[in-house]
Structure 1
């Protein structure tokens, strides 16, 4: 399955670039076929050291977005204890929401850092923000100190780490691009799984302050070490291709559909991932059982994203994304709502977490597929910036719908399911519009 990427020659004529062959048109001499790349060059393009980069990105995402996925465990603790006197559930919701939204606001800043100080130092900078945020959170005494540390400061670090690595995998792979990206983004799930269980145990034994400090040390060591293994495939072109804000994208209908899918998926995803642990406790299960449900959700994300990537390579990423988003709606309506009060059914819903979280398994590959590698970083930067708004209010909206009693989460569940249905419609339109393009690519 080949893919075609356009490139511009000095004469200004754009020519397709196929896997394994390049053609160049001179201004005077007509088309000239260059030599086919050697086996080593093909291997380098389709992976090679790229697999080391995949492993490094896996660890970076596990200790940035992955650890943030366990916020549901912290939220359940905040709601069940008076650790921050006078704080309201809505304020706690903004802690989690801000960590995401600030991450997206930091995206253009991270792109500028990439251009100024390079890939590795940009990730190191993000790691310092993340570890510093958790140290500051461990000393927080008021809700506003927690919002600034666990919310704002952590979000800056997470956004820098994500933006720096989001487009990296696509440069190393063509035929296995979605699979490699799925493996790398699977780190988010395994990070959430590991630290959801660990955080609950540490909170019970050592308290919230030392849980934050231990997490800060782990993040600092892993993120700094992982950054040393990163390598950008671009050679001397990075500074000219990185664009923090490309306003021309707003003129593209596909970009608006892409944003619609991203916004709506995000509203549903945050409502699910941050509510599961608290929901489990409200319907009568223990904090340990609640953290286990969140852990299973993250386990499904970690295992499922490589599977989604493999399926995307085989059948087309947009098609797979549309189906997965639709399944998210079905499972939310028919498993979480009707069976959630049974612990077994709630665990099943958690184990299907790869579908509500499918956006982050397909996001980078969809940008490359729809907009091309040349615009990929600009699309990632601008679209993640706009995602700041829904992520700021997603959990606040969800918690505002929460009511007392065993059925107190019903409105949240319906809200999440409706968001997934609307996101499916946007993705379906993209699937229809890009169907011919994808058939041509798959026939190559």
Structure 2
């Protein structure tokens, strides 16, 4: 069925309506049929059972996309100490980096599929790749096998899940958009808590292979719930482009895309290396050092909800500028952290402030997008810039640290990157205020 022709139909065309129903297994044509054209184009409901079910769906999709990326720190330390000890930290970090890069890059093309009206197709396809990748990791024995299964396969699948999580919500929320997105984004924080603990507790008991299979079954169950709940409210544009670069002609979007790139250079460096730091530099015993990653992820739950509440009142760019500046200060303070108490406090604070950089991306892109029918493509292009930052940043940090005898260089790199991102955010904020756009 030609989705473009279908969505250009008149509301009263019975033959097109019958054709539309034949594809209802893949996306929510049934909901579209129940709504007239004017109702779909009206203001988002900002509440109701269906709207909050989209938040639940987004939460679980974040759990299985960025949640797996933020959990990579536990794999980093396991691969280096046990699984592939001959590989350098920088080389191992490329696995997690590729996973995050392809997650964000894949959302560029997945966003255009979403703009054509197929969120459920993306959940089915993305969920398959994520679960298949987890099962294949359980069979891996070499570095390149891990790169293919964890870096390539999971990365591509997670990108398809992620774009549905972020791009469906703006059609359901306007005034509460930031808090709705923030609540959904806490799924990645919970994934960063749950998946490392599952791995840490089960791997010594049932082995590496079966631990990954258990994680795969958890991902399967949560993806099925998302598939059941997901509904797209806004009609797609008449002929969405496969890749839409037109947003870069607009100063606001172009500036914010630059913010995403520069911030992503260092945002996830602590998530990749906090366990290594705690064990070898932070003065934390081995048993507690592992839990620094779940603590860091738990802190980001606060960072994805409280700033979102503030953003609905004060504006996304104002709040994001403040939280990114705080993250930059904390990155420089990382150099002075030593001892268990200090490492725990720093992890909670960095997780809290850096979490806003992720949760406020979606409402900010939506705020600078004039037509919500194109928001999937715009978010995809912004994620592409974010992906480039991830691709470059983590390996640079690994190369600077070497065998992690030079932590100061890694910490300064994080701080400088976040300072530049803060400056660009301030410029974006002033440009938006000057243009007279709200929040």
Q: Which residue does 1:12 correspond to in 2?
A: none
Residues 62 and 187 of structure 1 are in contact (CA less than 8 Å); yes or no, is this contact kept in structure 2? yes
Shift in Å, 1:191: 1.5
Alpha-carbon distance, 1:122 to partner? 1.3
The range that moved more, 202-211 or 311-320, is 202-211
- Partner residue in 1 for 2:310: 311
Q: TM-score, normalised by structure 1?
A: 0.84
Q: Counterparts of 1:388 and 1:66 in 2: how far apart (Å)?
A: 16
Write the distance in 2 (CA, Å) between the matches of 1:415 and 1:315. Answer: 30
Deviation per residue, 1:147-190 (Å, 9 max, x gap): 00010100001100011221111111111111111111111111
Matches within 5 A, 1:113-124: 113-114=113-114, 118-124=118-124
Are residue 350 (structure 1) and residue 351 (structure 2) matched? no
- Give the equivalent residue in structure 1 for 2:222: 222
Distance 1:139 1:117 in 2: 36
Among candidates 401, 411, 414, match of residue 413 of structure 1:
411
User: Paired residues, what number?
Assistant: 397
Contiguous gaps of at least 5 residues in structure 1 = 1-36
Q: Map of 1:187-226 to 2, 5 A cutoff?
A: 187-226=187-226
Q: Could you tell me how far apart the structure 1 residues matched to 2:416 and 2:159 are? A: 27
1:34-69 Cα shifts (integer Å, max 9, x gaps) = xxx99xx99971121111110111112112211221
Distance 1:135 1:183, change over 3 A: same
Cα deviation for residue 290 of structure 1 reads 2.3
Of Structure 1 and Structure 2, the greater helix share is in 2
Q: Does 1:60 align with 2:61?
A: yes
Alignment RMSD = 2.3
Equivalent-residue separation in structure 2 for 1:266 and 1:389 (angstroms) = 8
Decide which moves more: 67-76 or 354-363. 354-363
Does 2:260 correspond to 1:259? Answer: no
Per-residue displacement from partner, 1:2-43 (whole Å, max 9, x unpaired)? xxxxxxxxxxxxxxxxxxxxxxxxxxxxxxxxxxx99xx999
- 1:387-441 Cα offsets, whole Å, 9 max, x none, are 3322223221111111457x53221111101111000011000111112567x74
CA gap 1:182/1:242 in 2 versus in 1, 3 angstroms: farther
Structure 2: runs of 5+ lacking an equivalent:
1-37
Large movers: runs of 4+ above 6 Å: 41-44
Q: TM-score, normalised by structure 2?
A: 0.85
- Distance in 2 (CA, whole Å) between partners of 1:208 and 1:105 is 29
> Partners of 1:285 and 1:78 in 2: how far apart?
20
Deviations 1:175-234 (A, max 9, x none): 111111111111111121122222222223333222211111110121122211111112
Q: Which residue of 1 aligns with 2:398?
A: 399
Partner of 2:280: 282
> What residue in structure 1 maps to residue 148 of structure 2?
148
Query: Is the 8 Å Cα contact of residues 85 and 142 (structure 1) preserved in structure 2?
Result: no
| 3-state DSSP of counterpart to 2:219 | helix
Offset at residue 347 of structure 1 (A) = 0.8
- Shift of the 66–185 alpha-carbon distance from structure 1 to 2, 3 Å rule, reads same
Q: 1:110 to 1:211 in 2, by over 3 A?
A: same
Match of 2:275, SS?
Answer: helix
Mapping of 1:7-406 within 5 angstroms? 45-48=45-48, 49-81=50-82, 83-84=83-84, 86-114=86-114, 118-234=118-234, 237-238=235-236, 240=238, 242-283=240-281, 284-334=283-333, 336-338=334-336, 340-352=337-349, 353-372=351-370, 373-404=372-403
Q: Deviation at 1:98? A: 0.2
Query: Are the counterparts in 1 of residues 116 and 240 from structure 2 also a CA contact under 8 Å?
Result: no
